[in-house]
Copies of this chain bind each other. A is one copy, B any other.
Amino acid sequence: MSDFSQELKPADPQGPSILAQERAGSDVNIDQLAHHLLHRGDFLKRQKKILSVLEKRPYFCKKNQLNLARPDRYHLGLARAKELRRLSLQHGWDIDDYKMADYLTDEMAPYALQTVMFATSIREQCNDEQRAYWLPKVENWEVIGCYGQTELGHGSNVKGIECEARWNPKSKDFTIHSPTLTASKWWNGALGRTANHAIVVAQLMLPDQKTGKYKSHGPHQFIVQIRDMKTNKPLEGIVIGDIGPKYGYTAMDNGYMLFKNLRVPHSALLSRYSGVDSESGMYIKPKNQALVYGSLTYVRAQIIMHARLVLARACTVSLRYTSIRRQFADRDAKGSAPEQAVLNYPTVQIRLLPLLATTYALHYTGEAMFKLYWQTRADIEKNGDDSGLAEMHAASSGLKSLCTILAADGIETCRRAMGGHGFGGGSGMIPLNNDYLSKPTVEGDNWMITQQTASYLIKRMQTATKDQYPSNTESIDGQFRLFLQNKQSSKTYDIYNNESDIVTAFQHRVSFLSYQAYEARIEKKQPWTSLMISLHRLSRAFSESLLVTNFHRAIFESTPDPPLDKATHNIMKTLFRLFALSTIDFQSTEFILSGALAPSQLRDLTPTIQQLMAEIRPHAIRLVDAWSIPDYLLESALGRHDGDVYNALWRKAHLENPLNLQTFNPDWKTEEIIMGEGEETARQRIEALALGVEGHEQRGDLWRAKL
């Protein structure tokens, strides 16, 4: 067949000329804004440096990923993980370089736990002796580690895990044991096929000094060798495997693990803060539990910063594509009018532009959380002042929940806004969506952890009711006291003409809902469970208020840092308004019921939002360009920086699709599938595909012996 497709080009206007025009029509200073957003840790320079290495390596080519079977994705993931380690040494990468490589590779791979949960546990939970022994092995990657906390039966409720570590007073060691099937470790990354060592979280069981009866002192961390260092087979007394395919994380071997009376030495218990006295068998209580919360907050600040980049990626793809894609002429146009860019339709704008504004909102709160974390940590380490910890923890819980929801739902909104091509592999949205959908659940389920935020706010409100004098109104206490003093006032806020009124309206809503929760729980003593829905909403209100407050502070209350041109600064102000008003639109009932807004004020909401979107529309492309997401990371025909969408889709389909290498037999009367392979070959091949492991077994492959 003659391939005449190379003679053809897409119908005019061409994507690249459209994007060039879009960029020419805006005065947003991309480089300056990019620096403003990404100056931390030399992000842009680092991205360029690492990109130039990865793009040349065949292992890091992403274009065939969606064609691969899940087991092959693990093979490739392990190969990439190893190569990243080798490249680190070869190029002298520091930890931030390594993280950048991980970000650009965009894959949760089998070494992902080594530098994070595994090394962090060793570093933070080991006593000095343990640290001296393990840390060099971990940092030189002589052992490959994982973190085994979650079990088949317990995730959120860590205290409920069933795996036990019993202290044997005579032999002065522990027995790690899984009493049930639900005690099996489950989900733990790198455990399934890779790691030879694990941090195992188990109930520390010590015999009562008098009765000898065992009692749990709660979950504790143990370091355990789980596989043979030569053969990589599980050690005797351990059953391990990979849990199988998941929604995302295709390259990661999330694992399961059962123990049958496995003996580990006294030194296996990580003993920096607590421990077991090997002579007396007595429990040594932890000294400072609070620091644990500190590092959780750090992880959550990272989650917010990650959420902004993930959402920026979805916005980059969808805004570039919808500004190129044309469909339908203006319905009111007379005569034959050209088709409109779909981004010109308000029904597309209302889905994408508030999300674009959200990327910026997330940014300023992520920045604020990082600053708060470092400051709180410094306060604790310098003078033991941990007063900031509770608020930081409460804020981080609510924000983790809200920000990951905004990003997760935002990705899908962006994908759908791209219509049919958004459903195709060329969108680049498939792995993004599939992987990110884990985030609302991991690191604290989004519906569960909001209770911590609400619980904190109820406590603060209770304090505020006892002391009516306003303190610093910037603090939550000050806000609450002000609210209590003015509870009878019917003042509403001028959200259309006054930005600080917007901030106050959000804060008023938080105070109102906190007071309701306080009344229900403290005064009326209502059951906690019955309040959960209100508590979740309170946490969301508080977190939205933080996003709005931090955005306002960064853009209206001080000179942007690093600085922005006036034109760019002005667009940031418009983005603030769009973010805040869209949020009000979505949550209007609470603004009405709290009295922050009069019902009649809602009438102007949609027209005002539409006006703000019209102002932002010409700058949309530059505003996503500033996020500096490289094409390599986007891996998207629709979202390419050059806008050459249709040629890229065509190449992907016509030149890079392995299914097109084979010719098939479409005739239902024969079982032959690939033309010419014959019926018997086809039948055996297809049955093996359908039956999988069972097919192996039927053919006598004694796979269980290989485990």
Which residues of A652-688 are within 8 A (CB) of B? 652-671, 673-675, 682, 685-687
Residues 300-335 of chain A, each 1 if its beta carbon lies under 8 Å from chain B, else 0: 000000000000000000000000001110111000
Q: Which partner residue on chain B sits nearest A536 by CB separation?
A: B347
Q: Is the CB of B658 within 8 A of A71?
A: yes
In whole angstroms, what is the CA distance A10 to B659 when docked? 43
Q: Is the CB of A71 within 8 A of B67?
A: yes
Which residues of A1-59 are within 8 A (CB) of B? 1-5, 8-11, 58-59
Q: Is the CB of A424 within 8 A of B243?
A: yes
A610 contact from B2, B340, B446, B530, Cβ within 8 A: B530
In whole angstroms, what is the CA distance A652 to B141 when docked? 32
In whole angstroms, what is the CA distance A191 to B364 when docked? 49
Q: Which among A92-100, A148-156, A460-468, A492-500 touches the partner chain?
A: A148-156
Taking the closest CB of chain B, its distance from the CB of A699, in whole angstroms, is 12
Q: Report chain B residues within 8 Å CB of A179.
A: 8, 11
Q: Which among A192-200, A553-561, A625-633 touches the partner chain?
A: A192-200
Taking the closest CB of chain B, its distance from the CB of A312, in whole angstroms, is 21
Q: Which partner residue on chain B sits nearest A62 by CB separation?
A: B690
Q: Is the CB of B247 within 8 A of A79?
A: no
Which residues of A61-98 are within 8 A (CB) of B? 61, 63-64, 66-72, 74-76, 78-79, 81-82, 85-86
Q: Which among A234-242, A277-285, A368-376, A483-491 touches the partner chain?
A: A234-242
Q: Is the CB of B592 within 8 A of A1?
A: no
Q: Report chain B residues within 8 Å CB of A696.
A: 658, 661
Assuming the A-B contacts A332-B527, A602-B593, are A61 and B690 also in contact, with contact meaning beta carbons closer than 8 angstroms in the complex? yes
A568 at interface (Cβ–Cβ under 8 A)?
Answer: no
In whole angstroms, what is the CA distance A609 to B299 when docked? 36
A184 contact from B150, B339, B650, B665, Cβ within 8 A: B650
In whole angstroms, what is the CA distance A706 to B3 when docked? 12
Q: Is the CB of A3 within 8 A of B704?
A: yes
Q: Report chain B residues within 8 Å CB of A193.
A: 659-660, 662-664
Assuming the A-B contacts A3-B707, A328-B157, A663-B706, are A150 and B420 also in contact, with contact meaning beta carbons closer than 8 angstroms in the complex? yes
A367 at interface (Cβ–Cβ under 8 A)?
Answer: no
Residues 217-261 of chain A, each 1 if its beta carbon lies under 8 Å from chain B, else 0: 000000000000001111010110111111110000100101010
A120 at interface (Cβ–Cβ under 8 A)?
Answer: no
Q: Is the CB of A180 within 8 A of B11?
A: yes
Q: Which partner residue on chain B sits nearest A647 by CB separation?
A: B181
Q: Report chain B residues within 8 Å CB of A695.
A: 64
Q: Report chain B residues within 8 Å CB of A178.
A: 8
Q: Report chain B residues within 8 Å CB of A202.
A: none
Q: Report chain B residues within 8 Å CB of A515.
A: none
Q: Which partner residue on chain B sits nearest A78 by CB separation?
A: B673
Q: Is the CB of B70 within 8 A of A646?
A: no
Q: Which partner residue on chain B sits nearest A195 by CB separation?
A: B666
Q: Which partner residue on chain B sits nearest A142 by CB separation?
A: B667
Q: Is the CB of A529 within 8 A of B346?
A: yes
Which residues of A437-490 are within 8 A (CB) of B? 437-438, 440-442, 445-448
Q: Which partner residue on chain B sits nearest A455 by CB separation?
A: B331
Q: Report chain B residues within 8 Å CB of A3.
A: 239, 704, 707
Q: Is the CB of B181 within 8 A of A646?
A: yes
In whole angstroms, what is the CA distance A53 to B40 when docked? 62
A275 at interface (Cβ–Cβ under 8 A)?
Answer: no
Residues 635-647 of chain A, each 1 if its beta carbon lies under 8 Å from chain B, else 0: 0000000000011
Q: Report chain B residues within 8 Å CB of A673.
A: 75, 78-79
A1 contact from B58, B236, B242, B655, Cβ within 8 A: B236
A162 at interface (Cβ–Cβ under 8 A)?
Answer: yes
Q: Is the CB of B588 within 8 A of A339?
A: no
Q: Is the CB of A533 within 8 A of B346?
A: yes
Assuming the A-B contacts A75-B673, A160-B339, A181-B9, are A646 and B153 also in contact, with contact meaning beta carbons closer than 8 angstroms in the complex? yes
In whole angstroms, what is the CA distance A71 to B437 when docked? 25
Given contacts A9-B180, A231-B663, 17 further A-B contacts (CB under 8 A): A4-B258, A11-B182, A58-B687, A66-B245, A68-B69, A79-B671, A79-B673, A144-B667, A244-B659, A245-B430, A253-B659, A256-B650, A346-B532, A412-B437, A588-B588, A589-B602, A593-B599
- A-B interface, 9 closest residue pairs, ranked by CB to CB distance from nearest: A64-B692, A66-B245, A69-B69, A85-B668, A245-B425, A331-B528, A8-B181, A82-B668, A79-B686
